[in-house]
Amino acid sequence: MSWLLAHNVALVLLIPAASVGVLAALPDYRVSAAVNVIASLLTLVAAASLFAARPAADAYFLVDDLNVVFVVLSSFVGFTTSIFSASYIGHELETGRLTPAYLRFYHAMYQTMMFGMNLALLVNNIGLMWVAIELATLATVLMVGIYRTHEALEAAWKYFILASVGIAFALFGTILVYMSALPIVGEGLQGMTWTTLVAHVRIFDPALLSVAFVFLFLGYGTKVGLAPLHAWLPDAHAEGPTPISAVLSGLLLNVALYAILRFKMLMALNSDTISPGPLMVVMGLVSLIFAAFMLYRRRDIKRLFAYSSIEHMGIIVFAFGMGGPFANFAGLLQMTMHSLTKSAIFFTVGHVAQVKGTQKIAEIRGLTVTHPLLGFALLLGVLAIAGVPPLGIFMSEFLVVSSTFARAPWLAIALVFGLLIAFGALLLRVQGFAFGEPTGSTAPVRASYVPIFAHMALVAGAGIYLPPMLVAWFQHVAAMLG
Amino acid sequence: MHGLNFDVAHLLAGSLVLVSFMMLYQDRLYALLNVFALHAVVLSASVAWQAYIHDAPHLYITAAIALLFKAIVIPIALHRMIVRLGIHREIEAVGSIGPTMLAGIGLVGLSMAVMLRVTADSDLLAREDLAFALAVLLLGLLIMVTRRNAVSQVVGFMSLENGLVLAATGARGMPLVVEISVAFSVLIAFIVIGIFLFRIRERFDTVDVQALDRFRGERR
């Protein structure tokens, strides 16, 4: 136990890194799916132990209250997704959409992505963080294209090009931050270390830092999927394997958001820079309202929920843009709830699409009749994501709206408008999925219900009762975010 | 204060912007690749000169990577790919050359106006480098948006990365880790793109991205 606590940061990174090699070498897909689950579980255990003990910040790693939340959330969703993935790929293999050789590659890339994300979250260096996010992105690009259909290739290509342009802007912003630190902290690694930057940012050149933030926000904002930089997101979600849609929505968007939040904290310490708030509020609101309207025109079930992810990232960025302890708390809660709910929805949608053999909304009807458990899980998921009380997302959205009403009523009206539009679209669609004349196959499905219902139980539970420990933790992080 | 060191560095960084402009109006793939190779050579010279005047020997590695990898290996490989794909004919630019060049001039003006203003306190060479780097980056973006061909989009992307390398070397003492990572990401990018191009060929018989757009996931 004490050994675990002493090495938990290293373990969070080493377990995925080591399993990449193992998974690339294992020929049998059943064994590698099991190894994938075990590795994800061990990573989760190591990540959870960060709550109990954490090393002091050194030149390479920084563990504080903020990134522990992100690391634990992503290892948890990574673990549940690996369980879902094990049953999902079995079906893909049977239908011949994937071959065992591709599965080897798929599992290795899955852990590469987990490694990249955990590294990005834990590292104490803005340059290394950039490298890690790039690594995670490339791994997902390869997985999005894994089916090699027309649509999958187009989606992967679009994702790759847009993500690369975004990541190029982010690197330019990173270089500008280093340049602004150069006269004060000197040359070398110091100028890229978070803790050093935070300690000295008060006397950095504000103009240079402001321009840097604009580039960083646009760059990492592309990966968060903010409109109008979102074009890659629906394609990548719809055409890749569904476990990847779940981790894209549940995790990778959060990691990019984490980068933006870190830089926002940096900016907040230097009073002469531009304020990041208005920029984030505007982009968040635009994404929310745009995605809400786009929800009505979707014909593909995975695209529908991809646009819903854009909508929710919009709400989250909006909340963090408003700032202050109340709105930040709401943003953190919304992010957690969205990750859990959206990945549960994608697990369900993955099984639904497999059993019905289609992703077209028009061809999926009457699920509660043909597959009651899946149908009601999807219904519950959509109700949760639309923000029906008393589920978790209702609570976090309520907090966002009420904190906004107190400070900027006009913005709150726009926010509520967007939420209602999205609410209408999702309810309209879910009626079709869940009820109505049953269509398609009624064959029984071997679904992994445990991850779906574990996530939904957490979301439903959080809507009714939040443990005081969690509340205190989030309040502290919200205060840190300023 | 304007010694020879500064003048040469300025000349090289400025030439990089100029070569970016040359790439804007190349409407044949071979010519585009050749100009890209020139772009990489100029970048390499610029980085090597920075290494010399700042006495930062690790930058020579970056310069060598730029020269070997970007100026020789990639253009040759893409050249072969073009031959094998049989697409060595004209590439269509979306706009005509005039408006594209005007847009390019506008972008260069923008990057000068922004970067020179905000870096007033930095040393002169770093300011110039950052301004030129942003110009190269934006021109690379412009190349990418005006092209419809996957190969020329890749070339545009690599010229954009060249701008990033120029910026990274202009920032004095920037840790090596980042430079290698830039070079490395280009390598990975190339492999990824290479795989994609071949897969596109395998599936579509064309590398025209416009043909890809027809395969929207949301056909009715």
Of A130, A160, A239, the CB nearest to B217: A239
Angstroms from A395 CA to nearest CA on chain B? 33
In a domain, residue B102? The reply is no
Q: Give the residue from chain A lying closest to B134, CA to CA.
A: A172
Q: B150 and A164: CB-CB below 8 Å?
A: no
Phi, psi of B219 (to 5 degrees): -70, 150
Range of the domain at B32: 4-87+109-213
Q: Do B196 and A188 touch (CB under 8 A)?
A: no
> Which residues on B lie below 8 Å from A171 (Cβ)?
164, 168, 178, 182
- A182 with B192: Cβ contact below 8 A: no
pLDDT band at B220 (very low <50, low <70, confident <90, very high): very low
Q: What was the pLDDT predicted at B42?
A: 95
Q: By percentage, how much of chain A surpasses pLDDT 90? A: 54
**CA dist., res. B158 & res. A430, Å (int):** 44
Q: Give pLDDT tens digits for A250-281.
A: 899 999 999 999 999 999 888 888 889 999 99
Pairwise CA distance, residues A131 & A140, whole Å: 14
CB-CB neighbors (< 8 A) of B172 in chain A:
182, 187
CB contact under 8 A, B173 and A191: yes
Chain A residues with CB-CB distance to B183 below 8 A: none
Q: Identity (one letter) of the amino acid at A20?
A: V
Beta-carbon separation of B217 and A210 below 8 A: no
Rounded to an integer, the average pLDDT of A127-155 is 85
As for how many domains chain B has, the answer is 1
pTM here is 0.91
- A128 neighbourhood in chain B, CB within 8 Å: 177
Structure confidence at residue A481 (pLDDT): 87
What average pLDDT is seen over chain B?
78
Query: Quick one: which of A334, A339, A336, A329 has its CA closest to A477?
Result: A329
| Residue from A177, A166, A42, A63 nearest A124 by CA | A63
d(Cα A192, Cα B210) in Å, to the nearest integer? 41
3-state SS assignment for residue A30: helix
DSSP run (H or E) holding B31: helix B29-54
- Can you give the pLDDT at residue B166? 87
pLDDT of residue B183: 58
**Minimal Cα–Cα distance from A69 to chain B, Å?**
27
Q: Which residues of B touch A164 (CB under 8 A)?
A: 157, 189
How does DSSP classify residue A300? Answer: B
In-domain check, residue B120: yes
Confidence (pLDDT) at A459: 93
pLDDT of residue A394: 93
Whether A134 sits inside 8 A of B185 (CB atoms) is yes
Overall average pLDDT of the A134-144 stretch: 87
Q: What angle do CA A264, A269, A273 make, to 5 degrees?
A: 75
Mean pLDDT over residues A12-35, rounded? Answer: 91
Q: How far apart, in whole angstroms, are the C-alpha atoms of residue B201 and residue B85?
A: 7
Confirm if B210 and B147 have CB atoms less than 8 A apart. Answer: no
- Please determine, for residue B30, whether its predicted confidence score (pLDDT) is greater than 50: yes
pLDDT at A182: 86
Residue B208 is predicted with a pLDDT of 58
The answer to whether the CB of A315 falls within 8 A of the CB of A394 is: no
Whether B76 maps to a domain, the answer reads yes
- Chain B: residue nearest A239 by CA? B217
Examine the pLDDT at A195 and tell me if it is beyond 50.
yes
**Which residues of B are less than 8 Å from A161 in CB distance?**
144, 153, 157
Q: What is the DSSP string of A193-256?
A: BHHHHHHHGGGS-HHHHHHHHHHHHHHHHHHHT-TTS-THHHHHHHHS-HHHHHHIIIIIHHHH
CB contact under 8 A, B122 and A154: no
CB contact under 8 A, A154 and B212: yes
CA distance A38 to A79: 8
Q: Do the Cβ atoms of A157 and B150 come within 8 Å?
A: yes
Task: Give the C-alpha separation, A130 to A136, whole Å.
Answer: 10
What residues in B contact A165, CB-CB < 8 Å? Answer: 141, 144, 157, 160
Tell me what ipTM this predicted complex has: 0.86
Nearest one of A110, A138, A127, A106 to B185, comparing CA atoms: A138
Residue B134 with chain A: CB contacts under 8 Å:
172
pLDDT in tens, A407-461: 989 999 999 999 999 999 999 988 888 888 888 777 888 788 899 999 999 999 9
Domain assignment present for residue B115? The answer is yes
Size of interface A-B (CB pairs under 8 A): 135
Mean pLDDT throughout A286-297?
94
Please answer yes or no on whether B126 and A189 come within 8 Å at the CB atom.
no
**pLDDT at residue B5, as a whole number:** 84
Contacts of B25 (CB under 8 A, 6+ apart): B93, B97, B100, B101
Tell me, what DSSP letter sits at residue B93? B
Cβ <8 Å between A153 and B213: no
> How high does pLDDT run on average in chain A?
90
Rounded mean pLDDT, A370-380:
90
pLDDT at B168 (0 to 100): 85
pLDDT at B135: 95
In a domain, B147, yes or no: yes
Give the end-to-end CA distance of chain B in Å, rounded to a whole number.
66
The partner residue sitting opposite A208, judged by closest CB among B118, B161, B188, is: B118
Mean pLDDT for the stretch of residues B63-84: 79
Contact A172 B203 (CB under 8 A): no
Chain A CA closest to residue B199: A148
Indicate the burial class of A180 (C-beta count within 10 angstroms; 0-12, 13-18, 19 or more).
buried
List pLDDT tens digits, range A457-478: 999 999 889 999 999 999 999 9
Q: What is the pLDDT of residue B53?
A: 86
- Please give the pLDDT value at position A113: 94
Instruction: Classify A474 in phi/psi space as left (phi over 0), alpha (psi -120 to 50) or beta.
Output: alpha
Q: Choose the mutation target among B164, B180, B214 for the interface with A, i.e. most A CBs under 10 Å.
A: B164
Residues of A with CB below 8 A from B218's CB?
A: 298-300, 303
Q: Please give the Cα distance from B146 to A446 (Å, whole number).
A: 48
pLDDT band at A164 (very low <50, low <70, confident <90, very high): confident
Q: Rounded to an integer, what distance in angstroms lies between the CA atom of residue A204 and that of residue A178?
A: 10
pLDDT digits (tens, 9 = 90+) for B90-112: 566 666 788 889 999 999 999 99
pLDDT single digits (tens) B153-208: 778 888 888 888 888 888 777 775 455 556 555 655 655 565 555 555 554 455 55
When CB atoms are compared, the residue of B120, B168, B200 closest to A175 is: B168
Residue B103 lies in a domain: no
Name the residue of chain B whose CA is nearest to A193's CA. B175
The count of other CB atoms within 10 Å of the CB of residue A338 is 28
Mean pLDDT value across residues A314-339: 94
Indicate the burial class of A310 (C-beta count within 10 angstroms; 0-12, 13-18, 19 or more): buried
Chain B: give the shortest CA distance to residue A397, in Å: 30
Which of helix, strand or coil describes residue A185? helix
Closest Cβ–Cβ partner in B117, B119, B153 for A161: B153
Instruction: Please count the other Cβ atoms lying within 10 Å of the Cβ belonging to residue A84.
Output: 27
What pLDDT digit, counting tens, does each position of A207-234 carry? Answer: 889 999 999 999 999 999 998 888 899 9
